Chains A and B, each alone.
Chain A
Amino acid sequence: MMLSKRSFLTGALGGMAMIGMPFETRAQSAGGRGGTLVVGSSQVPRHFNGAVQSGIATAMPSTQIFASPLRFDENWKPQPYLAKSWEVAPDGLSVTLKLVDDAVFHDGKPVTSDDVAFSVMIIKENHPFKTMLAAVDKVETPDPKTAVIKLAHPHPALLLAMSPALMPILPRHVYGDGQDIKTHPANLKPIGSGPYKFVEYKQGDYYTLEKFEKFFIPGRPKLDKIVVRLIADPNALLVSTERGEIHAAPFITGVRDIERLEKVQDLVVTEKGFAGIGALNWLAFNTKKKPLDDVRVRQAIAYAANRDFIVKKLMGGKAPPSTGPIAPGSPLYEARVEQYKFDIEKSKKLLDEAGLKPNADGVRATMTIDYIPGGDEQQRNVAEYMRSALKRVGLNLEVRAAPDFPTWAQRVSNYDFDMTMDTVYNWGDPVIGVDRTYLSSNIRKGIIWSNTQQYSNPKVDDILAKAAVETAPEKRKALYSEFQKIVVEDVPIFFINATPYYNAFAKGLSGLPTTIWGVASPLDELYWATAPKT
């Protein structure tokens, strides 16, 4: 509690202090190739080791510092990275990686299959995404440049799990010294084999990365230096971006913010680069709590909410609607599900059927709605909209404001809620980021972003288990289609929209990160085509 209060206060005050503060590195930006890139972000990383920490705050620096076996292009196709080739065995029970010959860590030691084996097992044991590498039995290292990942059962999600954001290869000689990996001192002074090496981190203020001269891809990275300024106040971040003090502002979600930056001449604003993360914004129900344990009540709420109004009017058309548990940008997305088209009468009828009759004041039931504090447009505004929308069908909602994130997370993960707005990421493959929300085996009290809805449907459990090991892409897609239809029918969650994550870049930049992982992947191709305006 103490910590959260403090961070809340410093956040509010720190933002103000940043305005108008000239930043020394700004003047050092050079034109042509190379030069310095100043990134502005509100995402403060706890540390830089993406092997034991999920989230974009860590993923952005971690993917610059650490290389991974594979990377992905704009069309979800795997590309060689640390692994120059990879081969999935016909039975799907092993994947053989051939590593590039000349990769070295920032301290000069070579990257070997031993480091791959070490990292895979570290991630399997410590990464919050338990399902991601659960199928991995062991990693064999027949020679220093060959790693064979042995699986207990086929695991088609493994290729995506080898993405930069999910499988950073750690040097065993640094992280394997027996200290607890989650609190390892090198998490804050990381050593990897990625395009940029870590220089310094001023906690909550900025961190600096510098070109790694011996990076294994010749001619890259093109930039000399990346400075990430951490600016807690979104308005200060916007102003700095508008003034050109910041050359790249990733993760912009506010519609007004996006529109404001789109008007700035010297900026390119793109929505590309977040298909992999697949952030969904939704209304989750506590399916064990009366009256929400009745599927008809949940369906009634879905019919009473006008998704079209939310997406087009409240979010200004910048956020794509989402209709099911898999993000619209994914190749596994199924559009043919129940849409819950806005229908007040149908909603009232369902509530009547569920036995929720209006009392003398026209009130059928009173419930609470929570939201993640901080994200006004995606969270608070929609919660307030729901209060107004559900009143029309006789459901009274009390909006519960949480003062900080831990308070919200504690309520939701301990099932002390009726319904809550929430934002959860797909992380590429359903096995990594989708299953956790729906598997009955993942109802884990106290853990946020597990199955906090306490949704339990044996058929869904069964389909997800089958799809996780299905190696034939078409069959796998069919299984996930069925899964999406059932979940949408059961409404443990009312799906509202995909979070619009926009990136703003200064116009002179070229080689923008538009792959499925966006800035949560190496920025080794980014360079200044024309000098930045200072």
Chain B
Amino acid sequence: MKHIKTLETRDYRESMKEGGCGECQTSCQSACKTSCTVGNQSCEHKEKK
């Protein structure tokens, strides 16, 4: 495309198919302890595959 550059992202709709396994890190355990950020976390399901 000439006018648009799309960054590589995970498609949320697709993630419904294999998501929800719960192996990922609990968001507050990472460093914050006062804020909830999940966008920065990795999917463990993908890593396992």
Q: Note whether A and B form a binding pair.
A: no
B→A interface (CB under 8 Å) = none
